[in-house]
Amino acid sequence: MEIRTKRLTVRPIRIGDEKEVHEYAGDPSLTMMYFLPNETFQETADFVKENAAEWSSEDQTNFEFVILLDGKIIGGCDCDLGHSADRSYATLGWIIRKDHRNRGYASEAASAVMDFAFENLKIDKVYAQCDTKNPASFGVMRKLGMKCVDDKGTRTYPRTGETSGEYTCLITREEWENSVKMRRTGAV
């Protein structure tokens, strides 16, 4: 399965992606805000193996994608049902290599994965969260049509022990369907 956008290919993570995934997962300046395995290449290899296997599971709850530009992995995006006991909502997350930021790739890929989630997973809502010190991710959420539903959350990073503020944003199925209609008619 591959999702093609105007500039990107978004596909399930697979064995063989370890080196390119570690290029962004191993950058501590990026991953201090994320919960990726970034200490060693072996952690990244285990992450890839576990998430690639998830795509074959009948009980799959995490859909981990890689984002490719011109055939090279520049980031990742995931859709996770694991926080929803009844599987009625998903959480969405993304990361883009530092040298590919500020070009709209995160919102382009996240939009494609959000479309995948609503079209294929029979969910009612998609949530996304980001550190309050990460205005770029907050901007992606707003560009996706998400609304901030909580600006008072906190998060603690396990590797650093740092606690920070957290934004939680949401888009409902109805809001997503309206945005799809607007995109199709060119109203956006």
Q: What are the structural domains, with CATH classification, of the chain?
A: 3-185 (3.40.630.30)
Q: Is 76 helix (H, G, I), strand (E, B) or coil?
A: strand
Please give the model's pTM, rounded to 2 decimal places: 0.90
Q: Report the alpha-carbon distance of residue 17 to residue 32 in Å, rounded.
A: 21
**b/e 104-121 (16+ beta carbons within 10 angstroms → b):** ebbbbbbbbbbbbbbeeb
The predicted pLDDT at position 34 comes to 57
Q: How far apart are CA 145 and CA 31, in angstroms?
A: 25
pLDDT tens per residue, range 6-54: 999 999 999 999 999 998 887 776 655 555 656 788 888 999 999 999 9
Contact of 126 with 92, CB cutoff 8 Å: yes
127-179 residue pLDDT tens: 999 999 889 999 999 999 999 999 999 988 777 788 989 999 999 999 999 88
Tell me how far apart the alpha carbons of residues 129 and 132 are, in angstroms, rounded to a whole number.
9
pLDDT of residue 30: 63
